[in-house]
Amino acid sequence: MAAVLARGLVRGALRLGQSAAGMSAGPRTPTPRPGASEHPWASTPIPACASVGTSTPCTPKGTDPVSPVDSPLIGRYAPQPQRCVSAPSGRDGEVGKAQQAAAAGEEAGGQPTIFSKIINRTIPATILYEDDKCLVFRDVAPQAPVHFLVIPKRPIPRISRVGPQDTELLGHLMVVAARTAQAEGLADGYRLVINDGKHGAQSVYHLHLHVLGGRQMGWPPG
């Protein structure tokens, strides 16, 4: 009996010694799974905004390639990578900006808007399409994986100020919006929005059509 107990004590001491030696050697380095180093995300961090609204990492603002190509649709169209959802739209976003614009009397005009500056190229934008009547460019604060604006080159402050003389232009804007959406791959549908005035959350008093797609829209809006 004593011999059996002695052998048990010896084995226990040997196990303790082996455990101590393993701890002193430091933690084991895990063996990488086969092919892990070849994975495209193995060493490339995904931008934080990629987790919002889409699994496709977004392209940092200001780095989109702008290389217009001839389009079988109309005019010249420059295909661009999709962005991800980013900016706020509540009272600290577009609603707040719309209230400030209304309070400042920006509808009366007299000063260039940010959109007129994009038209004359004094500030940059990611332009998707352009012809003699309108310009299409990506929204800098996208609310969907695909979000672009269609604006007329002739300044019209808001949709509620249009008249019969604008019928052809308005139809052209709609056609361009639809064809650009097609070129952007929005085959499953999209939403077209026109904000009007303070209650409509219009923050820039130059008529513009929002086209949003790439995700399921909710209802009712606003």
Residue 199 annotated among the catalytic residues of the structure: no
Question: What are the Cα distances from residue 123, in Å, to 24, 118, 149, 151?
Answer: 61, 5, 16, 15
Dihedral of CA 121/62/64/173: which sign? negative
Q: How far apart are CA 202 and CA 216, in angstroms?
A: 23
- Half-sphere exposure for 39 (CA within 13 Å, toward CB): 11
Q: How far apart are CA 182 and CA 188, in angstroms?
A: 10
Q: How far apart are CA 155 and CA 191, in angstroms?
A: 23
From 147, 172, 206, 208, active-site residue: 208
Catalytic residues: 208
